[in-house]
Amino acid sequence: MENVFVNSDDINQIKDELSKLNNRLNHFIEKSNQQHVEFILNELREKYSNIFYNNTLKESKSCLENSMISDCEMKSRCFGTFLNILNSSAENITENSISEEKIVNIRKNLENLKEKLPYEKCDVCYSETVRLFEKQIDLMKTLGIYSEKHENMEINISEEEIIDLMLEPISNKHRLLILKSLVSETKTFSDISKITGLKAGNLLFHLKKLQDSEMIMQRSDRGDYMITKRGIDVLNGILGIYGKVF
């Protein structure tokens, strides 16, 4: 497969165009022929999938190298393990469709791997791997090759837990902005301060809210902040609800 790289601005522009087109097609599909719509989507996938695939490989390697704990004696071994998982997952980007079973199996492999991690600091490297994997999932959704199936489930969670653990932490615009800013990369306290316009105690208050709810974590006492799998899941849930309601 030929390696083709384009800059991140071009990638983001293509993703925006595809996302908007997918939205238009979702409305169009109700009044048009299903076969015609699939033909259009297949053309788009053939045109862009290899570009996305190669840039996803490049991004996975670069982000892992920069985000993993540098002074860990297991970095080299874990780097290879995490990168293999991400590269294997990225191959799905070139497919016409992806089964729910495939994605579930990758998630299970990640969860099984987490149970075997020996140190508490392993959460930093693991969380970065999960973040990159969830970005791949978002890309697959944008390309129209994967959609999650949600079964009807009885909610056995108390109202207090739902509010305290999920709704209250994201009910503030500054905290939601912090979550969104951490999706693409880790941020320092100074970075987040510039993004939100909050200083010292005010910013620490909001960061602690997100940390207590386990939506973000800090690499060390004074290290960068990064989003966790729970934080990513919450954001994806918000986008899903917003897309259906508005």
121-to-11, 69, 88, 125, 209 alpha-carbon distances in Å: 32, 8, 25, 8, 21
Residues in a beta bridge with 110: none
* Cβ atoms of 44 and 21 closer than 8 Å: yes
| C-alpha–C-alpha distance, residues 109 and 85, integer Å | 9
* Cβ atoms of 214 and 228 closer than 8 Å: yes
pLDDT of the chain, 246 residues: tens digit per residue: 455 556 667 777 777 777 777 766 665 544 544 455 456 556 666 777 788 888 899 999 999 988 888 888 888 999 999 999 999 999 988 887 788 888 989 989 898 888 888 888 888 899 999 999 988 988 888 777 887 765 544 556 778 888 888 888 888 999 999 999 998 788 999 999 999 999 989 999 999 999 999 899 887 666 789 888 788 888 888 877 776 666
Selection from 82, 103, 96, 93 nearest residue 53 by Cα: 93
| C-alpha–C-alpha distance, residues 188 and 196, integer Å | 12
Q: Looking at residue 244, what is its pLDDT?
A: 64
Ordered structural domains, the chain, with CATH: 8-142 (no CATH), 159-245 (1.10.10.10)
Q: Looking at residue 4, what is its pLDDT?
A: 54
Selection from 82, 94, 85 nearest residue 47 by Cα: 94
- The reported pTM is 0.59
Cα–Cα–Cα angle for 227, 233, 238, nearest 5°? 110
